[in-house]
Structure 1
Amino acid sequence: MRHDYFQNTRRILSGIALLCGATFASAESTHGIAMYGDPALPPDFVSLPYANPQAPKGGRVIFGNTGGFDSLNPFVQKGTAPWQMRFWSYESLMGRSWDEPFTLYGLLAESVETSEDRSWVEFTLRPEARFADGSPVTIEDVLWSYEVLGTKGHLRYRTLWSQMASIEQTGPRTVRITFKDDNRELALIAGLRPILKKDQYDGRDFTDAPLEAPVGSGPYVIGDVDPGRFIEFRRNPDYWGKDLPLRRGTANFDEMRVEFYGDQAVMFEAFKAGELTAIREFNADTWARQYDFPSVVRGDVVKTEIPHERPTGMTGIVMNARRVPFDDWRVREALLLAFNFEYINGTLTGGTQPRITSYYANSYLGLRPGPATGKVRDLLAPFADSLLPGTIDGYTLPQGDDSARNRRDLRAAARLLSEAGWRVEDGLLRDDTGRPMQMSLLLRQGDTEMKSVAELYARALERLGITLVTETVDNAQYVARQNTYDFDLTRFRRDLSLSPGNEQKLYWGKDGVTQPGTRNLMGVDNPAIEAMLDTMLTTTEPDTFTAAVRALDRVLTAGRYVIPIWQFDKGRIAHAKQLKYPDTLPLYGDRIGFMPEVWWFEE
């Protein structure tokens, strides 16, 4: 059956195809696709380089999450589902190797074909692909999944649909997607869309979020569930893809259970008591000082550190620039100056974790110190008059001292606040109308780490006459308020890759200033950012791509939107001694695709 959801556009594109037949004819089917160059693994690769194809199957593991869940549909905007569901129970046409910046290999699709200019991509479905209920994955399911996710799914899926000119069946097992825009990454993004079972939703509303999971085609199915308390994933013994090169040595545990806790401290105590099999630790001081309990001393629990080569990303406190006074960069800089990282880091982590210095720090994509040069400067030059101080000439975060008073930076902050029209009266910082500067920090219940940071930060702000109040809400309220940008300050985390692309528009694209549900929490609207994103997504030259990302890093960092805290310079996993992992580690380190995907249980 032939499907075409963009009939008029398809007729136009068909005419263009006749004129550009040479380009279309040059395409060839292949086992994988890379953002730049060719895939690193050959067509006959046995397994991913960081997986053990001889890993034994078996064992039961228990992990922990903080917060809760009220839905089992991770593909819609409504409700909160356990984040693990998307990665453990659902497949896409292609799967990613975490040992390359951005390369995909066949999963539900046995091959991929695209034109040289990446204006279209065609996938050939594997005949053996099956859903967990044993029914075949069909082209009909593929077409429906793209449409329903693109029109009714979570906002993260809708951008691709708006960039598609057409999607149609071109053979018994092939589907072609043609794109509207000059955007080389779209061919890869299209390969990562989850494929769902159409028949499950006949006569039903896909946007609803009941406690019934969509039928998936992944290695795990949902077992027992107690909403808000735990969810179990059971390995499907009939999983159709267990012998695929991309899947050999993965999904090794028979059962994975996720328990939910009120906060990180309670979850840590549960791990110490032996109720959890593994836990990730993000505080280096806690890692060094508090992992000395009896099971560690006996050797029953092992402390493992996993290095990586990915960017630091950005973690910290984001300021909502949609609101006064955060719309003034001088106020944002003053708040950065008041945040004495050296003192806070020394108090909470023992000073062992280095600070994040920019969004793409710790990688070749990060900004270079000092003035912009070469292609980076050329890309920023057209926007020079509108860029904030330090963007082109060089910007570094304020560096405080190891004392609580931090007099030098607080004096500098007071001067900037005065320039912005704020003055101290009766011990409070006030604007021209006499209104005091008061701000609230929105946190998820159980976020003890950021609450401790806020307590130290509030004392420094008091010296400037600023009142900071911490507002802790449950998981549902937290998500809802972030989605509607109903906050002054809130915790911020963006995990960035070595191949940034279309997701960047969700992070800091101008549409996110007013459109609910994007990830542009700071409310940034900057023509220079839009230009850098367009260059990143259209260039065919790796050098230009790198320059555009470095320029983007400069604009974001000098924008003073986030107060960065410490970086996660390595993965820290404490786990039962029975858990093993391969000797070869992926480029991205401990990330989705590593733990628990390539680990196994061994008595």
Structure 2
Amino acid sequence: MIIRFAPFVLALAALIPFAPVSLAQDADWRHAVSMIGEPKYPEGFSRFDYVNPDAPKGGTLRLSEEGTFDSLNPVLAKGELAAGLSLVFDTLMKSSEDEVSATYGLLAESMSFPDDISKVTFRLRPEARWADGEPVTPEDVVFSFDKAKELNPLQANYYAHVVSAEKTGDREVTFLFDETNNRELPQILGQFLILPKHWWEGTDEAGTSRDIERTTLEPVMGSGPYRIASLTAGSTLRFELRDDYWGKDINVNVGQHNFGAIEYVYFTDRNVEFEAFRAGRIDYYQDNSASHWATAYDFPAITTGEVVREEIENPLRAVGIMQALVPNMRLEKFQDARVRRALNFAFDFEGLNKTLAHNMLTRVDSYFWGTELASSGLPEGRELEILEAMKDKIPPEVFTTPFTNPVGGETQARANLRQALMLFREAGYELKDRKLVNSQTGEQLSIEILLGSASLERSVLPYISSLKDLGIDARIRTVDGSQYTNRVRSFNYDMIWSVWAQTLNPGNEQAGYWGSKAVDREGSRNYAGISDPAIDELIRMVIFAKDRDEQVAAVKALDRVLLANHYVVPLFYSRAVKVAYRKMLAHPEELPYYGLGFPEVWWMNDGQ
């Protein structure tokens, strides 16, 4: 399963025993589905446990975003998409934030699939309506799915094994698969946004035909709880709660969507964004910098209690994080694993953690860091069997040497640079006139680290200094959001800063992260350019694991092989989300176990 990961969005899960019997029988209509265990909430449940059903409605929540936007079309993989569009559009199913991997009917009242999981059928709620009062139909679902696969490479990869969507009843739509026994497909088909076919095929107020294949700043219509009330292109966006929202009283929505309006203001500078929060123009701020969190909150509103600070573990309890600097192996200079390993020796995490982060960070050492899916030690049991079956295709150290990051700091940083230089020499480089050059061509090794936010520069600059000490022509290039997005989508970079968020139920998304077919697919998240038959084989083992034990073993084996190939320079992360907000905002005393519930289950005191 994929996590929609924004700078502050993480959710899902701790582990419940795997139960294949939770998969539906043919023609067995189910109100919910869970990939791990049985759904917590029975059919006909009244609400999720973590909401406040008496939360007041009203008030305006003022939020901020870094960057800009130039499109409200949620399908396209082009342009800078505006924040908050999930407020406008519903999906077929809705996730519970106090379960690992369970979804419940939203637009769809139920779903059904056969034992071999060769298809899945969703039955739409008869009361589901678009904002103009028209019913949500199977034709809308088919249209949305077909356009998502046609126009968005990420969606095309994610749903690659869904060959068609067809209307099979007045309120039913069926998705057919080209493979069987992929347990994840029925659930993830409940995740994509459903769009109104008649609206996109209609005309705007000026009589101009709309075109879903192009970006647009016309306020789009959906079936969700909010509508777009106003906007200033690239700068501000205001959503207002719909009194006529069709789903406001159904169980999965009780106690949610409590703000009367939600506004977004965009800032091109993270420091200016924080100053706006300090000045009271923004209500909620998530701080992703440990040093900033430790030093920047000495303003009067903190002293008086007008601003509340919290460190909340919930969203990260079952999310595996790989945050890393990612060299692009589509470029020849990064194709030698010794070069990539040397780049890790040049990164002095301990020095950075001490000087910039007050020792508040932890180094990432797994692609599933922080979860039970992370590999450790040497492989054994079923994991070892999996790896031994492909021992001629994977690095031999998988069997002999547990992965560890180099340890730096005052005493070790210089030794690590010497180790890096030795690896560069083994890979065909040498020092000449204090420049690290290719022994064959005489060309100096150059590395440009592309960033989309100036706030990351202070964490990268020490690394740039270390690379320069090795004789590398190293530099940072920070560009605006639109340029960054376009360059990353077209793989036009040497190295980027990226983060992957993993659930406890890895599946189809792994092919998009590390699979060979995603290497040349523009817009994919295979940022490193990995193309390895052994990894492709491991990904399929993860997707088609027959039970939970097999899935865990396959994931750990995948993690171990990814690490042994040194595809990235692992960075760091925190195990708690750090948020500050105006005291007029409130949330349930017990937040959902695996999420912040923000902004869905929060509210404004006294409807302010």
Structure 2 equivalent of residue 11 of structure 1: none
Summarize deviations over 1:53-108 as a string: whole Å, max 9, x none: 221111111111111011111211221112421x2111111111122221110000
Cα distance between partner residues in 2 of 1:392 and 1:237: 61
Secondary structure of the structure 2 residue equivalent to 1:318: strand
The amino acid of 2:87's aligned partner reads W
Pairwise CA RMSD: 1.8
Summarize deviations over 1:573-601 as a string: whole Å, max 9, x none: 100001111122334333xxx21111111
Cα distance between partner residues in 2 of 1:268 and 1:392: 48
Secondary structure of the structure 1 residue equivalent to 2:140: helix
Structure 2 equivalent of residue 101 of structure 1: 100
For residues 413-452 of structure 1, the aligned pairs below 5 Å read 413-432=420-439, 433-444=441-452, 446-448=453-455, 450-452=456-458
Secondary structure of the structure 1 residue equivalent to 2:459: helix
CA contact (8 A) 1:117 1:184 kept: no
Structure 2 equivalent of residue 552 of structure 1: 558
Deviation of 1:25 after TM superposition, in Å, equals 6.9
Cα distance between partner residues in 1 of 2:549 and 2:284: 41
For residues 281-360 of structure 1, the aligned pairs below 5 Å read 281-308=287-314, 309-360=317-368
Structure 2 runs not aligned, ≥5 long: 1-22, 202-208
Cα 1:65–1:307 shift into 2, 3 Å: same
Deviation of 1:405 after TM superposition, in Å, equals 7.3
Summarize deviations over 1:198-248 as a string: whole Å, max 9, x none: 112225421100112432111111111111111111111111111111111
Cα distance between partner residues in 2 of 1:429 and 1:418: 9
Cα 1:26–1:477 shift into 2, 3 Å: closer
Cα distance between partner residues in 1 of 2:219 and 2:64: 20
Deviation of 1:414 after TM superposition, in Å, equals 1.1
For residues 14-93 of structure 1, the aligned pairs below 5 Å read 26-85=26-85, 87-93=86-92
Cα distance between partner residues in 2 of 1:261 and 1:579: 22
Secondary structure of the structure 2 residue equivalent to 1:522: coil
Cα distance between partner residues in 2 of 1:366 and 1:150: 32
> Which of these residues, 381, 388, 391, is aligned with residue 388 of structure 2?
381
CA contact (8 A) 1:160 1:190 kept: no
Summarize deviations over 1:235-264 as a string: whole Å, max 9, x none: 111111111111111111111111111121
Secondary structure of the structure 2 residue equivalent to 1:246: helix
CA contact (8 A) 1:146 1:161 kept: no
Cα distance between partner residues in 2 of 1:508 and 1:321: 12
Secondary structure of the structure 2 residue equivalent to 1:159: helix
Secondary structure of the structure 2 residue equivalent to 1:100: coil
TM-score between both structures, scaled by the size of structure 2: 0.91
Secondary structure of the structure 2 residue equivalent to 1:495: strand
Structure 1 equivalent of residue 9 of structure 2: none
Cα 1:156–1:50 shift into 2, 3 Å: farther
Secondary structure of the structure 1 residue equivalent to 2:309: strand
Cα 1:422–1:167 shift into 2, 3 Å: same
The amino acid of 2:532's aligned partner reads N
Cα 1:98–1:556 shift into 2, 3 Å: farther
Deviation of 1:389 after TM superposition, in Å, equals 4.8
Number of residue pairs the alignment of both structures matches: 573
The amino acid of 2:179's aligned partner reads D
Cα distance between partner residues in 1 of 2:591 and 2:479: 38
Structure 1 runs not aligned, ≥5 long: 1-22
Cα distance between partner residues in 1 of 2:164 and 2:493: 39
Secondary structure of the structure 1 residue equivalent to 2:175: strand
CA contact (8 A) 1:343 1:404 kept: no
> Which of these residues, 455, 458, 463, is aligned with residue 464 of structure 2?
458
Secondary structure of the structure 1 residue equivalent to 2:110: strand
CA contact (8 A) 1:233 1:257 kept: yes
Structure 2 equivalent of residue 602 of structure 1: 605
Secondary structure of the structure 1 residue equivalent to 2:332: coil
CA contact (8 A) 1:74 1:83 kept: no
Structure 2 equivalent of residue 176 of structure 1: 174
CA contact (8 A) 1:342 1:399 kept: no
Further displaced range: 550-559 or 334-343: 550-559
Identity of aligned residues (%): 37
CA contact (8 A) 1:345 1:566 kept: no
> Which of these residues, 222, 232, 241, is aligned with residue 238 of structure 2?
232
Cα distance between partner residues in 2 of 1:166 and 1:565: 40
CA contact (8 A) 1:315 1:564 kept: yes
Cα distance between partner residues in 2 of 1:274 and 1:140: 46
For residues 116-515 of structure 1, the aligned pairs below 5 Å read 116-152=115-151, 154-159=152-157, 162-182=160-180, 183-202=182-201, 204-308=210-314, 309-367=317-375, 369-403=376-410, 406-432=413-439, 433-444=441-452, 446-448=453-455, 450-515=456-521
The amino acid of 2:177's aligned partner reads F
CA contact (8 A) 2:25 2:112 kept: no
CA contact (8 A) 1:300 1:577 kept: yes
Cα 1:495–1:161 shift into 2, 3 Å: closer
The amino acid of 1:545's aligned partner reads Q
Secondary structure of the structure 2 residue equivalent to 1:297: helix
Cα distance between partner residues in 1 of 2:246 and 2:570: 44
Q: Relative contact order: is structure 1 or structure 2 higher (C-alpha 8 Å, sep ≥ 6)?
A: 2
Deviation of 1:44 after TM superposition, in Å, equals 2.3
